[in-house]
């Protein structure tokens, strides 16, 4: 029942031989060594496993790996350009967001997707789009500020 699948992760093709029913999250973490996306609930409820599939945030814990074939998968590991952080990553560092950091990759991927679709989101829009991601340390106020900071940076520093 194993199949050989080709996945495009962060612009690079990867061939894996696997049970196609496995969650994408498991294949990223256990087969490809990409451990940025985390297991938090396995239940589409916490967003720790968030990666982008064709640009949209998905719960990779509850997405069969087979459904990702032929589509672009983006993970936190592919976001920075060498040593240059993505503006959202930059903003998370600048705002001193992370406490334990376990939710951070999922939060950043959700925020990146949001800002691509809506570069200048309202606060209400940020809250509603980020509602899918849980942070137990409670750093939501800082994440909110970081997303606003990244939006501002993309707008040449204008709010």
Partner 1 sequence: MSATIQRKEPANIVPPEIDYDALLEPVQFHFALDRREFVQVLGAGLVVSVIVGPALAQRRRGGGGFRGGPPATLAARIHLGEDGAVTVLSGKVECGQGARTQIAMAAAEELRVPLERIHVVLADTGTTPDDGMTAGSRTTPSTIPSVRQAAAAVRKLLVDFAAERLRVPADSLDVRNGQVIRPGQPMPRILLGYELLVNDPAVREKLAAQTPADAELTPDADWQVLGKPQPAFAARDKVTGAHKCPSDINRPGMLYGAILRPPTYRGKLVSVDPAPVRAMPGVVVVQDGGFVGIAAPTSFAARQAIDALAKTAQWTTAPLPPSETLFEHLREHAEGLRESPLAAEVAAATKSLRQTYHVSYVQHAPLEPRVALAEWTDGKLTVWTGTQGPFRVKGELQSAFRLANDAVRVIVPDFGSGYGGKHTGECAVEAARLAKAAGKPVMLRWTREEEFTWAYFRPAGVIEMEASLDAENRITTWRHINIGSGGNSIETPYRVGRKDQRHIRSRPPLREGSYRALASTANSFARESFMDELAALAGVNPLEFRLAHLDEPRLRPVLEAAAEKFGWRERVANKRPNRGVGLACSWDKGSVVACCVEVEVVPNANNIRVLEVCEAFECGKIMNPDNLRSQIEGAIVMGLGPALSEEIRFDAERITNPNFRQYRVPRFRDTPRIETVLVDRPDLTSVGAGETPIIVIAPAIANAVFNASGQRIRQMPITLG
List interacting residues with partner 1 (CB under 8 A): 18-19, 21-23, 26, 29-30, 33-43, 45-46, 48, 75-77, 79-80, 85, 89, 92-93, 96-105, 108, 126-128, 130-131, 133-144
Where in 35-114 does DSSP place strands (E)? 50-53, 56-59, 72-74
List the beta bridge partners of residue 84: 81
Give me the half-sphere count of Cα atoms (radius 13 Å) on the Cβ side of residue 87: 18
* Pick 2 or 54: Cβ nearer partner 1: 2
* Pick 52 or 158: Cβ nearer partner 1: 52
List the beta bridge partners of residue 5: 16
- Report which of 115, 84, 55 is spatially closest to residue 93, judged by C-alpha positions: 84
Give the whole-angstrom CA distance, residue 108 versus residue 97: 11
* Min dist. Cβ of residue 72 to partner 1 (A): 17
* Pick 21 or 119: Cβ nearer partner 1: 21
* Min dist. Cβ of residue 98 to partner 1 (A): 4
* Min dist. Cβ of residue 14 to partner 1 (A): 16
């Amino acid at each position: 029942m194993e199949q050989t699948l080709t996945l495009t992760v962060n612009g690079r093709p990867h061939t894996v031989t696997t049970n196609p029913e496995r969650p994408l999250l498991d294949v990223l973490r256990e087969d490809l060594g990409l451990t940025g996306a985390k297991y938090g609930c396995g239940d589409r409820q916490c967003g720790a496993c968030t990666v982008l599939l064709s640009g949209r945030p998905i719960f990779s814990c509850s997405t069969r790996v087979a459904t990702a074939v032929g589509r672009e998968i983006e993970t936190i590991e592919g976001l920075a350009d060498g040593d240059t952080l993505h503006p959202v990553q930059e903003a998370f560092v600048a705002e001193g967001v992370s406490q334990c950091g376990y939710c951070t990759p999922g939060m950043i991927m959700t925020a990146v997707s949001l800002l691509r679709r809506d570069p200048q989101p309202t606060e209400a829009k940020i809250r509603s789009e980020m509602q899918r991601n849980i942070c137990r340390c409670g750093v939501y106020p800082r994440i909110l500020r970081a997303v606003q900071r990244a939006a501002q940076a993309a707008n040449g520093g204008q709010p």
